[in-house]
Amino acid sequence: MREMINGIIGGFKILISLDKEVYEIIFLSLYVSLTSTLLATLVSVPLGIFIGTKKFIFKNAVVRFIYTMMSLPPVIVGLIVFLFISRKGPFGQLGLVFTPTAMIIAQFILVSPIIVGTLYTASKEKGADIKRVAKTLGANKTQTLILLIKELRFSICTGIISGFGRAISEVGAVMIVGGNIKGHTRVMTTTIAMLRNMGDYENAIAIGIVLLILSFVINSFLYHFQ
Amino acid sequence: MELQIKQLIKNYENKLTLNIKDLIIPSSTFLGIIGPNGAGKSTLAKIIATLENATSGEILYNSNPFTPQLLNDMTLVFQKPYLLRTTVYNNIAYPLTLRKIDGKEINKRVCEILEEMDIVNLKDQKAWTLSGGEAQKVALARGLIFQPSLLILDEFTANIDPSSMMVLEKTIKRFYTKYSPTIIMVTHNLQQARRLCSHVAFINKGEIEEFGEINEVIFNSKNTATKNFISGEIVL
């Protein structure tokens, strides 16, 4: 219990300490998670709307695959991405292993199915009505797509919030592909795991508090936008 | 807008649901489509509005096949309207913003129609807070604001209270008198058809059994199915 209380106090101290190493970890965490969520959003929103509103062959199989991907274990994703980008892997010559880019790729794979799945469900429910209204009021294809995005903004934000939540809190994949290298690929979650292994519970909880505060701020912003 | 329907067939899962051989709806006709449940009335309305595809046959709009530009000049008001997740004002203004009409003109037209339909008090209300009758008024206002020359109404007053129905009917009448559009109204309500329509088509089992002037069809029908339907529906 003492570790918990000291950790909470420590969390606030860290935020105001202006410690360069801590801030590097915080900024890298935000950079990796926000970039992967942003890229996943750009790809997954149109994809989710497409799957939800169009009929095509093997649609049911695609939907089942997406739902399965939503519960994909991060360590598996980390392992697969690592095998692809490791020196002996098919993309080994790109030199991505143990870089923030590799971490973004892994998180992109984890976040995308969540946003696609959320948008698929929402557009399956409302998409036909929205498209029908748009057509009866004279909207062209671009205007219909804009209307779909506007009308589904609640679900888009829900998907982004859920996706960002998964990215910022994820440890398994970024640990495998990033390697938790100090000053290079160390993020908040891998720092917490490392501190726990070292028996430094107070600092682990302190970083955890910082993580929670940042998540709260970003989710509050997204909620307001929604 | 004149409509010519030629050899129109619609099958659902290999079952014939609509079979309209030849039907000409002259420009500025107010046509009521009546008939029993499952007769194909709404399907015909949706095919005319291009929301559904026919299995075969064609529809000519002012003697021309359908082109996407026609969507700017026609609309369909549904029984259960879908209103956009925004204010009543933005909902009604939406078709005008699509047509890139000047902001001042949009404001003028929206305010006019709000007054006409006696819903000025709803102007800034969020669409999802409206009652069924209010939502239908907004949907109709949104459909009329760009003055379409083909208006399709699919049981648009079903499930709403009589006073709201009267307001909607009054608005439709005023719009018809002012702009002379072609109106196709799918309805179960023969009394309503008599109040509004100039012509009526009776559809039964996907086929048009009778088409003509409203009073001619209702009072002098020679078709047994039409007579049975009317005698079961209308109290004289």
State yes or no: pLDDT of B236 exceeds 50.
no
Q: What percent of chain B has pLDDT over 90?
A: 53
Residues on chain A touching B143 (C-beta within 8 angstroms): 136-137
Q: Can you count the helices (H) and strands (E) in chain A?
A: 10, 0
> What span, in angstroms and rounded, lies between the C-alpha atoms of A93 and A97?
10
The topology (CATH level 3) of B3-41+56-233 is Rossmann fold (3.40.50)
Comparing CA positions, the residue from A63, A68, A65 lying closest to residue A52 is A63
Q: Is position A97 within any domain?
A: yes
Q: Is position A12 within any domain?
A: no
Pair A46, A120: CB distance under 8 Å: no
Q: Is position A67 within any domain?
A: yes
Q: Give the mutation candidate from B48, B77, B94, B142 for the A interface (greatest A CB count, under 10 A).
A: B94
Pair B190, B210: CB distance under 8 Å: no
Residues 183-222 of B with CB under 8 A from A: none
> What span, in angstroms and rounded, lies between the C-alpha atoms of A104 and A177?
10
User: How far, CA to CA in Å, does B132 sit from each of B122, B137, B153?
Assistant: 13, 9, 16
Q: What pLDDT digit, counting tens, does each position of B84-116 carry?
A: 999 999 999 999 999 999 999 999 999 999 998
Residue B233 banded pLDDT, cuts 50, 70, 90: low
**Nearest-CA distance from A151 to chain B in Å?**
6
**Domain region containing A180:** 26-195
Q: What pLDDT digit, counting tens, does each position of B21-55 carry?
A: 888 999 999 999 988 888 888 999 999 999 999 89
> Tokens in use for B35?
């008939």
Strands (DSSP E) contained in B141-187 are 150-154, 182-186
**pLDDT of res. A120:** 95
The DSSP H or E segment spanning B185 is: strand B182-186
Residues on chain A touching B100 (C-beta within 8 angstroms): none
Closest in B76, B85, B99 to A136, CB measured: B76
**Chain A to chain B Cβ contacts (< 8 Å):** 45
Q: What is the mean pLDDT of residues B124-140?
A: 92
**Domain spans of chain B?**
3-41+56-233
Distance from first CA to last CA of chain A, Å, rounded? 37
Q: What is the mean pLDDT of residues A98-107?
A: 95
State yes or no: pLDDT of A137 exceeds 90.
yes
**Nearest-CA distance from A222 to chain B in Å?**
18
Q: Which residues of B188-207 are buried (b: 16+ CB within 10 A; e: fewer)?
A: ebbebbeebbebbbbbbebb
On the CB side of B223, CA atoms within 13 Å amount to 18
Q: Is B167 exposed, middle or buried (0-12, 13-18, 19+ CB in 10 A)?
A: buried
> What span, in angstroms and rounded, lies between the C-alpha atoms of B92 and B113?
9
**pLDDT of res. B188:** 83
State yes or no: pLDDT of B235 exceeds 60.
no
Q: What is the mean pLDDT of residues A95-115?
A: 95
pTM: 0.81
Residue A226 banded pLDDT, cuts 50, 70, 90: low
Number of domains within chain A? 1
Q: Is position A51 within any domain?
A: yes
